[in-house]
Chain A
Amino acid sequence: MAISAIQFVLLYNTFTFSTWLSVTDSLVFNSVFALLGSGLWFMVQYSGRQQKNLFGMLRYHLAGVTFVTLLWLGLSSLIMRTIAASDSVYLEFLTKSVTFRILAGVLLYFLQITVFYLLINIKELKERMEREASLTTMLREAELNKLRAQIKPHFLFNSLNSVSALTLTDPMKAQEMVIKISELMRYSLSMGDEAMSTLKNELYHAGLYLDIEKVRFSDRLLVKEDINPECEDWPVPAMILQPLLENAVKHGVYNMSGPSSIHLIVKCDQEYLNVFIDNNFDVDSSPRKGTGTGLQNVKSRLAAIYSRHDLLSITKKEDSFAVLLKIPRKS
């Protein structure tokens, strides 16, 4: 439309044709081009991009521009010659302006395909971004799945081995132990990816875990708890405490021949629930560096649920290892 207007003004003022003729000329030429141009869209979309190299593209569009420009000029001139058959001045002008019109046609052609290519690229970019976004979501879900605190096989088998011994020495205790292992397993298996639990429920199951470890290591594992009962209803991610306690057990009991103690403190204020877990370890033993996946998983899970990376802090002193977990009231 804008091009038509410019063409009209040019024809009307510079070449002093009548209003009617100028308007018709502009409209005819431009609508014919617009018609052909819309055909270019398909040309660009379906065949233009199959040409992989620059040379092929160039050849393709050279053919395209020749064809489109000739068709455009031929059609438009034919229409104008029919409409303005009696106006000899105009007809002469039409013949003379062919070179100019060819140039304009070529220019318009390339302008149009450039715009089309841009549009297609933008569309593709958008699609790719959407695809990537959906992939990221899927990945995040998969990761959460993986991160979900799982009962480690060696813990399970060692515990079952203790049960096996207890069935011979103390059947009542064996039964108790089987029930505790089952309850802990059920809790860990039934929890969804971002499942929330309450502190009370979490502490109950963390207690099961510690009880089982106490049976395995008897007097070598000491646990002291300081829990503010007012925090019991605080929402916490399910199975978030167990990996932290397991880490404390691993650093302590697994690497110490003597007794190892774990201190669990839970407090809460307006904004946060603070869980503090502290364990001592043998200074002389050179603890094997674990893979650190346990704590890392807790961190990643917190990041996925709360979108924050500052909720778990770890302090390693000469003979003790402490973690502080902060759980915000709302996710």
Chain B
Amino acid sequence: MNFEYHVEGGDFTNAGSTSSQVKRMLKKIGVSPEIVKKTVVALYEAEVNIVAHAYRGDIFVDLEEDHVKIVLADEGPGIPDIDKAMQKGYSTASQKVREMGFGAGMGLPNIKNNSDSLNITSEVGKGTTIEFINYFQ
């Protein structure tokens, strides 16, 4: 099953609504609570990243019998150095975003810790695509 969601950059009010909807679906098909939690944590982080850094983005959810694949593709500044961004505590968030309690770093490492496989591609000035898969067993 495929689902598509749109995220607007800067719209913190609705940040997290996709992860909430995906969570509900995973519960309905009987995915174990631990894996629901993992997926919610990873997706929430990735979704908030779009809101905090990008202009807009789309989230594609591919729900299969044994796994869920989530692709978040944004139009935004891109990540110049992905390895650096993967380091704990590293953040490029603006002061304004930090004041709202976001952008304290940890975003990407947290996604990595809560996904079974993670792939990040990025082009400076164009955008970032994050793809991760979580298996149900």
- The answer on A and B forming one complex is no
